[in-house]
Amino acid sequence: MFDADSPSPVTTPRCRYAPSPTGSLHLGNARTALLAFLQARRMGARFILRIEDIDRPRTVPGATEAILDDLRWLGIDWDEGPDKGGDAGPYLQSERLAIYARALDALRERGRVFECFCSRADILRASSAPQIGEEGPRYPGTCRDLTDAEKRERAARHPNRQSALRLAVEPGQIAFEDEILGPRAFDLSATCGDFVLRRADGLFAYQLATAVDDGLMGITHVLRGDDLVSSTPRQIALLRLLGLKVPSYAHVPLLLDGGGEKLSKRLGSATISALRARGVRPERVVAALARSAGLTERLAIEAGELVDGFALDRIDRRARAVDPVDFD
């Protein structure tokens, strides 16, 4: 079991919202925050705000403060977070690096961690599988069983390339009941293969940090976008290996732009800050987000007014677009 300074046993449900401060809060992220907030308040859970700023090169200065300000403007509040503290902190991943290192050591002691000297191009050339999400093709296990001599030879061959650390994945299905999408099952060895725990640049990977944080913060319910469904079995695998409790998961359909594309910072999608600058009222934005999830027909509503009628089975299972006229 992972030996860490974990909080006391959970007696109250705990939900979370965990944005990455890589830019302004766009409407898709804001809708996820709203739905997670409503779930927490409806079930009387503690609502935790965690900032996933572990990828320091992509972190935008001032973005964390701007995200918190946008959430407050929308009427979304939280019980624990970087501005409020709490027993499960720190709530900035950049302040939790020692915790991730201990988790990595625990996995290494179980013989489940190995060095990988492959570049992305190496993996692509060696794999015949299609791309899997944003993490590329299935890892073919190239470095999994290297001898010490082979490791030294590979390190000498690429002296400027640091090794990554991967989890040795075992075959077999990891199944879970998604509270929105229903039963899901994944065989990690067949889909993604051995996945990264610490990147070649020395940064801890999203899967490890998120799993450790959810486990140690006592998160009982995770609501997030369905683009992260494929991450869930990896995080479940890590939680089980570390002896941490697995939360329940609910993955909501994504919010689309007018062209049917996923809303994202990369596409320059509408941001909360831009709408605020235009003078749009928060009640209009909340109503538009709630309508896109099938929760109301009103044109203006405060976030707190949606709590009593909220239920996961009311969320529209289709990916929906936000109409620009919603904010005129």
The residue among 9, 96, 45 whose CA lies nearest residue 248 is 45
pLDDT tens, 76-124? 999 999 999 999 999 999 999 999 999 999 999 999 999 999 988 888 8
Name the residue with tokens 């079995």: 233
Q: How far is CA 308 from CA 17, 129, 135, in A?
A: 20, 46, 39
Percent of the chain with pLDDT over 70: 89
For residue 283, how many C-alpha atoms fall within 13 Å in the half-sphere facing its CB?
8
Give the mean pLDDT of 194-199.
97
Neighbours of 182 (CB within 10 A): 8
Asked if residues 93 and 60 have their Cβ atoms less than 8 Å apart, the reply is no
Residue 19 DSSP code: -
Structure tokens at 293: 């999830």
**Beta carbons within 10 angstroms of residue 65's beta carbon:** 12
| Between residues 174 and 9, the one the model is more confident about | 174
Is the pLDDT at 326 greater than 90? The verdict is no
Which residues are marked as active site?
Answer: 265
Query: Does residue 243 surpass a pLDDT of 50?
Result: yes
> pLDDT per residue over 26-82, tens digit each?
999 999 999 999 999 999 999 999 999 999 999 999 999 999 999 999 999 999 999
Confidence (pLDDT) at 79:
98
Q: What 8-state DSSP symbol labels residue 95?
A: G
pLDDT tens figures, 277-323: 999 999 999 999 999 999 999 999 999 999 999 999 999 988 787 76
Q: How confident is the model at residue 248 (pLDDT cuts 50, 70, 90)?
A: very high
For residues 193-198, average pLDDT: 96
For helices 63-73 and 27-42, angle between their N-to-C axes, nearest 10 degrees: 60
The pLDDT assigned to 318 comes to 85
Distance of alpha carbon 3 from alpha carbon 243, whole angstroms = 9
**With the C-alpha atoms ordered 55, 57, 63, 64, is the resulting torsion angle positive or negative?**
positive
- Residue 270, classed as helix, strand or coil, is coil
Query: Using one digit for the tens of pLDDT, what is the confidence trace for 132-176?
Result: 545 678 999 999 999 999 999 988 887 777 899 999 999 999 999
C-beta neighbour count of 125 within 10 angstroms: 11
What pLDDT score was predicted for residue 21?
Answer: 97
- Which domains does the chain carry? 14-94+207-327 (3.40.50.620), 101-206 (3.90.800.10)
pTM: 0.92
- Scanning the chain, the segments in alpha helix (DSSP H) are 27-42, 63-73, 97-109, 120-126, 148-157, 188-191, 206-216, 231-241, 272-277, 282-292
Question: For residue 3, what pLDDT is reported?
Answer: 59
- For the chain, give the mean pLDDT: 91
The pLDDT of residue 267 is 47
